[in-house]
Structure 1
């Protein structure tokens, strides 16, 4: 099966040689993040995630526009629901897609905005309404929608995507409200690292939820990776990454994120707590990254054969899209490409998505 292999550009200051030790040379800037993306593009990755943060790093939409003419792969732009009114967001997305020649994909984010605290259910209802209206407009349809969070009567923007259709919506979240939102509106449901049995359980639950709306989902995996020529070298690299981290610094880094109390983050914490003394919850799944990072907190660790075997195991479990990162991001991008990427049948995801179900 052909799967999508993507990398990550550290637009939110998430790049380290040693976790918890900021390095001015690795801080987010246009030049630094551009170099990560160009490295991934040169090695033939299919997509690159451009994350979004309010306090840290640089703006991902402006960055995507600047990178449009420099790259040939897709870009996965993180969009925070509620940050822009929907017609403006539709125009922005369509314009970026034109600049990229039809290579834009969208990562829907539902976290609070600064100064805002919404409970999980209304936040995800807002995301569902926004996904519905955004997709309708990008599909060239007028919108007459009067919901709890979006109240809108508007024609589609003159600016259209290259395909004339909405880009794919990638989405992650584990709470009941997040799962309901994904079932109604997502195209690709992203999971953070977990044991394979838990991945299968989440997939089964999401398949059933989506089927209730006459929809189907594709599935993705977002994690870090550490690959070296031998397993001992890979494990040594993992230990080195944590070698200068103290508990207080790690906790402070995790709390910076607006989603630091989400169900997904809690699940990553539980995964760490179930690991062995070195942080391994499975032989090749290491949870140490989560000691200094909110969000995806584990890495696939091993030699090229072991990392490849773990990816194939996840493919067999139904994962069709992988978004990897490593520390430092450009260096690990190079290592993963040379050791593993060429062994995988990969390409950009292409399918016709179902409409968003708003009832």
Structure 2
């Protein structure tokens, strides 16, 4: 039984929102409607990713419009906000909204972070992240301390927080995904939920075994989460036809931008996904089926998690149960459009993930 199933909320919404023709108008009313739907359907919250809107005002607005069942998972790049200030923002959020905040630690790419004045290469990003989040964890646990490290020199950190006390214990939870050795080591030492993207089960099993071994070496155990896109229809043929349509409606400009722009991407997670399709745009989606119902084609036209599970509800549930057998207890799911598909997934897939085994 999955302990948590989250949905996905970004303002870039529609049937195929990577194209202007597939994108709908989104405003605050729409996004609060989506968040309320996610909560009503029984998802435990939603990932608010780095996209058009900054996650802090978006997360605050959605938390104010929902109840305790909606827990925002905010994507945050370490280093862009001073750790002491981030901790104060987190404690404020939790005090206002009843301890619902979780952090999705995003290490980003060297190129993207340069826009914000942060120039750190791949392995250095993880060293920064480890120090940064160790500070944030202590501050959101209510500690006051001095710290002198490679990146930060803090005096009486947390002393100015006064009566702003932690709501969650032992600290605001950290969720994180990294497939490189520095990423896995960072996760093993510091995070609470290790996130991964969808891959064939034998490849994922190998990676998760490494993660567990490294966590055990530090005397820790981690929850395991999986981020997946779903294409669910009444029949398998209808689901693959829906995937074919995504290929058909995507412009050559989008393919060129997505594949060319990420050719030099230094993230190991992206590289693992890219190897599943090799940058080839097929005539039909199923040509890229790497494992029953697994399709890596989403990364041909959108950033981030590029694997979709494609099939009937029964087939999709079967694949998700296979991941549960590997120890995955948390899912972050999405499908387009986010609003309509939240209903479809909430009514066909979510109940099966909530069932206790007989």
| TM-score, reference length from structure 1 | 0.88
Go from structure 1 to structure 2 and tell me whether the alpha carbon gap of 1:222 and 1:328 turns closer, same or farther (over 3 Å shift).
Answer: same
Give the whole-Å Cα distance in 1 for the aligned partners of 2:214 and 2:49: 27
Alpha-carbon shift at residue 324 of structure 1 (Å):
0.6
The 3 A distance-change label for structure 1 pair 258 and 246 is closer
Structure 2 contact 194–222 (Cα < 8 Å) conserved: yes
1:206-217 map, 5 Å: 206-217=211-222
- Is 1:306 the counterpart of 2:315 in the alignment? yes
Aligned to 1:285: 294
Query: How many corresponding residue pairs?
Result: 342
Aligned to 1:338: 347
Alignment partner of 1:177 is 2:182 = yes
- Which residue, 44, 48, 68 being the options, matches 1:46? 44
Pairing of 1:125-144 with structure 2 (within 5 A): 125-144=127-146
Alignment equivalent of 1:99, drawn from 96, 104, 118: 96
Equivalent residue number for residue 267 of structure 1:
272
Contact 2:193 2:223 in 1 (8 A): yes
Q: Which moved more, 1:104-113 or 1:17-26?
A: 17-26
Residue 228 (structure 1) aligned with residue 228 (structure 2): no
Q: What secondary structure is seen at the aligned counterpart in 2 of 1:174? A: coil
| Distance in 1, Cα, partners of 2:80 & 2:27 | 22
Q: Which ranges in structure 1 are unaligned for 5 or more consecutive residues?
A: 348-359
TM-score normalised over the length of structure 2: 0.89
Q: Deviations over 1:129-185 (max 9, x none)?
A: 011110111111123221111211224223223235312100011112111111111
Please report how far the alpha carbon of residue 2 of structure 1 lies from its aligned counterpart in structure 2 after TM superposition: 4.0
Say whether the 8 Å CA contact 1:265–1:294 is kept in structure 2.
no
Match of 1:344, SS state, is helix
Q: Does 1:62 align with 2:57?
A: yes
Q: Measure how far apart 1:231 and its partner are.
A: 1.0
Q: Shift in Å at residue 5 of structure 1?
A: 0.5
Contact residue 226 and residue 299 of structure 1 kept, 8 A:
yes
Structure holding more helix per residue: 2
Q: Secondary structure, in 3 states, of the residue corresponding to 2:195? A: strand
**Cα 1:34–1:256 shift into 2, 3 Å:** farther
| C-alpha contact (below 8 Å) 2:235/2:312 kept by paired residues | yes
Distance 1:330 1:277 in 2: 26
Structural RMSD (CA): 2.4
Q: Is the 8 A contact 1:254 1:294 kept in 2?
A: no
Structure 1 residues 95 and 81, CA, compared in 2 at 3 Å: closer, same or farther? Answer: same
